[in-house]
Amino acid sequence: MKKLIVRLSFSFFALGISNAVIGQVDKDVLNWYNGKSGMNTTKAYKALKKKTSTTVIVAIIDSGIDIEHADLKGKIWTNTKEIAGNGIDDDNNGYIDDIHGWNFLGSPDGKNQQYTRLEKARMYDKLKGKFENVDPQNVAAVDAKEYEIFKKVSEEIQTDKARYTQISARMEQLPMILQMVPGMVSKELGKTDYTQKDLEKWKPETEQLKQIRSMALAMASGELSEEVIKGQADQINAMLDYYLNTEYNDREFIGDNPDDFTDVRYGNNDVEGPDALHGTHVGGIVGSIRGNNLGGDGVADNVLLMSLRAVPDGDEADKDIALAIRYAVDNGAQVINMSFGKGYSPHQKEVFEALKYADSKGVLMVHAAGNSNMDTDVEPNYPTPMYSFQKEKLDLYLTIGASTRFPKQKLAAEFSNFGQTSVDVFAPGHDIYNAVPQSDYKKLNGTSMASPMVAGVAALLKSYFPAMTMNEIKDVMLKSAKSYKGVKQYKPGTEELVDFGTLSVTGAVIDVNAAVKMCLALEKSKK
C-alpha cells in the first residue's frame, strides 16, 4: 500500500499517518538528495564525465506513471515489438498493445480499479462465512491456525475503524480552527505581521499554545492548508469507505480471480490510470531529466521507465505483484522498484516464485521498507527477501529505509521502518521534491521515495559499468554506503536514542560518489 497522508505533528490532532504531501519547496530542499547532505550524486557525475553510458530499463511497479510529463520526456520505455493501437498481441507475450508497460488494475474496456481493500479486510471477508458465528470451543484442530488469523484481522479491523472514525470527526474541526490560529498567535506575540522566525523564537508555556505554535508553523511552511486538509480527509474517508470495508468488491473492474495465478488474461494498457501521483514521483526520482531546471533531478541520466500499474489506493494483490515482476523480467528490465508493502500476504509462495525468477535472471529488486516506524525483524512488511519457508535470502533484493537531511540525531526519518537484519541500507526519503502528474511537482515523504533513490543508483552504475553484474553492483552500493555505526540517532517514532547501526544491516546511507569510485577502482583492477 502507498500512503499519501500528511503527518500532523502537533498532539491535538496526532493522526500518526506518515508520508507528507506538500506543495511548496525552498532552495534547501530542491535536489538536496543529489548533493552532499544526500547521496553525493552530483559529485559522482563529475567522476564519470569521461565515460559513456548505456541505457538501462527500470520497471516501476506502482500506481502508474504520467508518461507525458515534461520531465520524463524521452525517459519512458517503449515495447518496440508491439504495434500501437492495432488490438493485436504482436509479440505474443499475452498483453495486447502493451506499448509502455501494463495496467494490472483495469479491464479490457478501459475501466480502472482505483480503490481496494486492505489485505486483512479481504482475508476477513473470505473467512467470515466459516468462523463468524462459530463457538471458539467448537473450532476443529485442523482449522485452529486459520481461526486465529480470522480473530486477529477481525480485531484489527474493528480497532482501525474506531480510530479512523474518531480522526474523521477531528478533521471536521480543523478548517474552523485553522481560521482561529492567526488571531490567537497575534494576541500572544503582540503583532499581526508575525513571521516564521517569530514563530520559531516563540516559546509558549501551556500545552494548548504549544499546539497553536505547531499549527502556525505548519501553516507557514505549507504543511497545513485547506488543500492539505481536504486531501487528508479524502484519504481518511477512503480508509473507512474502501480500505476497511470488508464487503467492497475491489476486483469489480478487473474481473479476474485474484486467487488463480493461471488466470492471467486481464488488465489493459493504460499505464497511468486514475491516480498516478505516487508512481510518477517514484519514476521521477529514478529518471527525471537532469539539469533542466524543472523540479528535482533524477538519479540516473540514461534510463527508460517501464510503468507497471499494480498498486492501488489500498493494498496491492499478491497476484498483480507476481505478474508485474514476471512481466518486468521478461521485457528487459534490469532493475525493479517496489515502493509498496503490506502486513499480510496470503499468496506468499507465488510471490516468492516471482521474486526468485527475477533473482535467477540477474534482475535487482529494490523494495521500500515501509512507513509505520516498526521493526521489520519482528513484523514483516511484504514482499520480503526472506519468507518463513525459505532457507536463505534472495541475492538480488534490497530493502530500503528512509533518511533525512538532518544527520544530527534525526538521520532516520521518524516514519521509516527499520530492522537490523531485514533492512539493508537507508537512502533519502524525506522532503523529496519531484514529478507528479500534469507536469507538476510536489514534495513527498516516505520509504517509497528512498527505494527509487537506490534503484536509480543501481541503474546509474549499470549504465556506466555495463560489464558489472547486478550482484557486484549491489555489493558495491552496500560496501560504499556512508556508515553511521556508533552514531546515536532517534529510533523512528520515538525519542529514544539508539546506535544507527542497529537500524539496518549496514548502518549506513547510500553514497553514489563513493560507489562510483569503487566501481572505477574495480574496473581498473580488471584491466
Annotated catalytic residues are: 241, 278, 448
Q: How far is CA 307 from CA 58, 337, 499, in A?
A: 9, 10, 38
How far is Cα 253 from Cα 255, in angstroms, rounded to an integer?
A: 6
CB 444 within 8 A of CB 450: no
How far is Cα 130 from Cα 123, in angstroms, rounded to an integer?
A: 12
Burial 282-300 (b: 16+ CB within 10 A, else e): bbbbbbbbbeeebbbbbbb
The size of the chain, in residues, is: 527
φ, ψ (nearest 5 deg) of residue 463? -65, -45
Can you name the residues that pair with 104 across neighbouring β-strands? none
* Residue 242 CA from chain centroid, whole number: 20
How far is Cα 477 from Cα 515, in angstroms, rounded to an integer?
A: 6
CB 333 within 8 A of CB 307: no
The set of cell numbers assigned to 432 is 523529496
Helix (H, G, I), strand (E, B) or coil at 501: helix
How far is Cα 447 from Cα 371, in angstroms, rounded to an integer?
A: 6
In Å, the largest CA–CA distance within the chain is 73
Of 147, 376, 26, 460, the closest CA to residue 385 belongs to 376
How far is Cα 284 from Cα 440, in angstroms, rounded to an integer?
A: 11
Can you name the residues that pair with 488 across neighbouring β-strands? 499
DSSP for residue 280: H
**How many Cα atoms occupy the beta-carbon half-sphere of 26 within 13 Å?**
5
Q: How far is CA 461 from CA 31, 52, 340, 471, in A?
A: 20, 12, 24, 12
Q: How far is CA 341 from CA 326, 349, 355, 366, 417, in A?
A: 18, 16, 14, 12, 11
